[in-house]
Structure 1
């Protein structure tokens, strides 16, 4: 076909292709639908870490502040929604998992994934893709929260001033070293997500890394005085939040109700080698996980056994796994444990229990069919957003986390 005036701009030279769009929220169906919108960074305060990508839809910014107002256009008065968050170290596939839950089709031309994924360039430069917390909403009213990596050297490097202090105010009114602030950042992310999500995906790399388990136990220990977002009194008419008298009444009412909310945890171990995906290893990991969280406040349920590469092996391994799973269920062991193998080229002849894409699809199906921990009472998406922003401020002002930071400083683990 010959070039038209529209495609050449009348000069005979083909016009450049339009830049790809970034999918922030799917078009809605009926009430409470989302939209496809590009949002710029607006008036965010620039400093060392400010490198949010174009089209960023930031809930918690790189300056560790919440921006609920810019997200309100994506929210509705619908009360039938599910919040799914994710947390984990760098490079474990967090954004890829959320893109799968979102329903993003990588074969779609001219459309970038809703959550940016690690590229060869970011790996080479030892950087990370997500800063703070990024939010997307699907047409099925899933609110997906992607977080910056925990235990990340690149996050630490970007927030560190030349004198070693933190460029980010993590605890309200306190100046901390970058190392201490980075440690508290990880805890605050965990406490916040456990407080506002119905389901929280906890991703680790390999079978042996249990740092994320330890982090979630710390979250369980320090998540005190953080209310169920649906139980918070309305702040309507108080743009800056409730008055001191209302804050006191809120605390008293919260203590009287003894409301406790914790997201359902889903543990995901990614990048597993084929030899690691054997029934004995999986059973052992389930037992370890059960012992780790035996006395925690987290509630978990549901999972599925692994499948293998041939019919004979499938029967043999599944019979073994099912027997161990039944034993685990009788002993009350944790069941929300999923496994993702290493990625291999589709044309590779290397045998696998199952391909990465297939297992990722099964993980998606399992997570999307989970009910998750329900909030105490129904609330709209907009109320969830406003109350979550207030919860973030409570996390930053938490006296329990502040006392924990002092304990770490006194231990000599971090410089003052």
Structure 2
């Protein structure tokens, strides 16, 4: 009996020792398994190589020229630069061969906040498209040159354009000649070329105005661009029977920098009626896509795609409203059928061809000749 009593602690100790070793072995195996399973997660969380691509340059661009084209604080990609240079190498690196594409363009005059609005369609607005203050504009001229591109995580392609009818654009070109055109004609035609190009390659275009007052010059320019888009195909590289000569995008009118006094339902309703009447016979898709009433019930009104954005937070936060605008625009139905399945890279190749067709359009050249004769008479 005494011997048995002395052996029990020993057996207990051995059993506890074996159990402890087993637990250590299990913890070791579990740790190894966890580290193995976590490896892909660590790889997944690596930063996307967006920034290096933004400095990919055309063979014709020198490094010192590139530094003036791409601001260090911006992650957008130069899409097109005058005279008609496309940054194909960098663009194609960012586009995919997967079916489907969705393109949002923006137009407007200088200093109305185009780049700021479009930057809020991306996750990091402060690092999307370059913006500038009024003082910087007066000293340096406009910031956006030609067309810049940014691709969102939702695979929306954003196209930010230089200001239309801007004297700073004209000032830069005066040094290099304007092909014998008078300055005012050249400036109008360059704006029309850009708008017609966007009409042909975009799903949605934001037309930005400074406040809720009607800018008839801007609306008439949009109207002329619609007229001159005659016989410009949507996908010129597709076979002839698949081209749509009468394709037009959805148009959204955005009144930016509205003060508290201007941000009223009466101003909103009056502008709705004017836009509806102005584009009554237009083929542009100006209705049924965006409504301020979806965010602010007081502004419930059917009609044109019209959206107000505030100058300050007196009515509602700018960030809240611009994100609501983004959500409604991104919900735009994609093209139906095979054209909606065109990949991003194929869209880009067709866009380059479209740009060439717009510049060589006989219809647009005839309009240019008529304008020149009227101005000279």
Give the TM-score of the pair, scaled to structure 2. Answer: 0.77
Match of 1:225 in 2: 231
Q: Is residue 367 of structure 1 aligned with residue 367 of structure 2?
A: no
Distance 1:281 1:78, change over 3 A: same
Specify the alignment match of 1:382 in structure 2. 345
CA RMSD for the aligned pairs? 3.0
Verify: 1:202 aligned to 2:207, yes or no.
yes
In the TM superposition, residue 399 of structure 1 has moved relative to its aligned partner by: 1.1
Q: How many angstroms does 1:305 deviate by? A: 3.3
TM-aligned CA distance change 1:156 to 1:375, over 3 Å: farther
> In the alignment, is the contact (CA less than 8 A) between 1:83 and 1:196 conserved in 2?
yes
Query: Compared with structure 1, are the counterparts of its residues 133 and 260 closer, same or farther at alpha carbon in structure 2 (3 Å cutoff)?
Result: same
Q: Distance in 1 between matches of 2:81 and 2:247?
A: 25
Counterpart in 2 of 1:347?
none
CA displacement 1:89-133 (0-9 Å, x = unmatched): 111111111111012154xxxxxx121011355233151111001
Quick check: 1:38 aligned with 2:1? no
Q: Does 1:184 align with 2:209?
A: no
Number of the residue aligned with 1:276: 262
How far apart, CA to CA, are the structure 2 residues paired with 1:94 and 1:257? 31
Which deviations, in whole Å up to 9, do the C-alpha atoms of 1:311-354 show, x marking residues without a partner? xxx7xxx45x43xx2xxx4xxx32x111111136xxxxxxx221
The gaps in structure 2 that reach 5 residues or longer are 1-43
The aligned counterpart of 1:58 is 78
SS state at 1:90 partner: coil
Aligned residues: 323
2:292 partner SS: coil
Kept in 2, the 8 Å contact 1:307–1:354? The answer is no
Higher helix share: 2
- The answer for the alignment partner of 1:302 in structure 2 is 289
Query: Bigger shift: 207-216 or 282-291?
Result: 207-216
- Given that residues 202 and 268 in structure 1 are in contact (C-alpha distance below 8 angstroms), is that contact kept between their aligned partners in structure 2? yes
TM-score, with length taken from structure 1? 0.70
Structure 1 position 193, deviation (Å): 0.5
Measured after TM superposition, the shift of residue 373 of structure 1 is: 5.3
1:8 paired residue number: none
Which digits, 9 at most, give the CA deviation of each residue in 1:59-98, with x for residues without a partner? 2113233333431111111123311111111111111111
Question: 5+ residue gaps in structure 1?
Answer: 1-28, 107-112, 167-173, 234-249, 309-313, 345-351
1:5-404 superposed matches below 5 A = 35-36=50-51, 37-44=53-60, 51-54=68-71, 57-104=77-124, 106=126, 113-119=127-133, 121-125=135-139, 127-161=141-175, 165-166=177-178, 175-208=180-213, 209-229=215-235, 232-233=237-238, 253=240, 259-300=245-286, 301-305=288-292, 318=297, 321-322=299-300, 325=301, 329=302, 333-334=303-304, 336-343=305-312, 352-371=314-333, 377=339, 378-404=341-367
Q: Is the 8 A contact 1:224 1:400 kept in 2?
A: yes
d(CA) in 2 for partners of 1:358, 1:258: 37
